[in-house]
Amino acid sequence: MAERYELRFSGAGGQGLITAGIILAEAASIIEGRSAVQSQSYGPEARGGASKSEVIISDQPIDYPKATIVDACLAMTQEAADKYANGIKDGGLLLLDADFVQRAPQGNFKVYRLPIMRMAKEDIGREIVANVVALGAVIGLTGVVSKEAGEQAVLRKVPEAFKELNKKAYNMGYEKGKELLN
């Protein structure tokens, strides 16, 4: 991994993408013992407005907590893609929800598409775990933390009754993210 790796999760408020960012930061810092910071931004709407969560992971101390040159970005809605899929470095990656983002922003980065919300709803049976599917896919695509660290961080955050559901969502997202690379 590069000395500093910057990720941005974006979508609509209420989709759990801030939580996904927190989980990723915990996977890197608490489980893998690296430096990580997480920041968030959202519109005035409680639900539905564009929101983002940024995570910076490094093997060195982090001197600036905001993403400036984004290595990987997730956009779950068209509004989020239009607003937050900027600053992606050359050769970086952008993961879009295939059903909700029709127009991919232009740039010198790789664009991947997965029907994340549909996978959560139809394959897992609960739309509420779309953020965990997305997190798994991002980790599968980037390798920014190990598969095991990501899963462990997810399972630390959910109540006992929902551990199997979230484990299934994470692993499906991870495998689909890996498949996109082939």
pLDDT in tens, 127-149: 999 999 999 999 999 999 999 99
Mean pLDDT for the stretch of residues 76-105: 95
Q: Are 37 and 24 in contact (CB under 8 A)?
A: no
CA atoms of 33 and 123, how far apart (whole Å): 33
When the candidates are 1.10.3720.10, 3.40.920.10, 3.20.20.70, 3.30.70.260, the CATH number that belongs to 4-115+142-157 is 3.40.920.10
Mean pLDDT for the stretch of residues 18-38: 97
As a whole number, the mean pLDDT across the chain is 94
Name the residue with tokens 């937050």.
Answer: 84
Mean pLDDT for the stretch of residues 40-63: 83
CA atoms of 61 and 172, how far apart (whole Å): 32
Confidence tier at 1 by pLDDT (50, 70, 90): very low
Predicted confidence at residue 13, as pLDDT, reads: 86
pTM value is 0.94
The residues spanned by each domain of the chain are 4-115+142-157
Q: Are 71 and 8 in contact (CB under 8 A)?
A: no
CA atoms of 139 and 143, how far apart (whole Å): 5
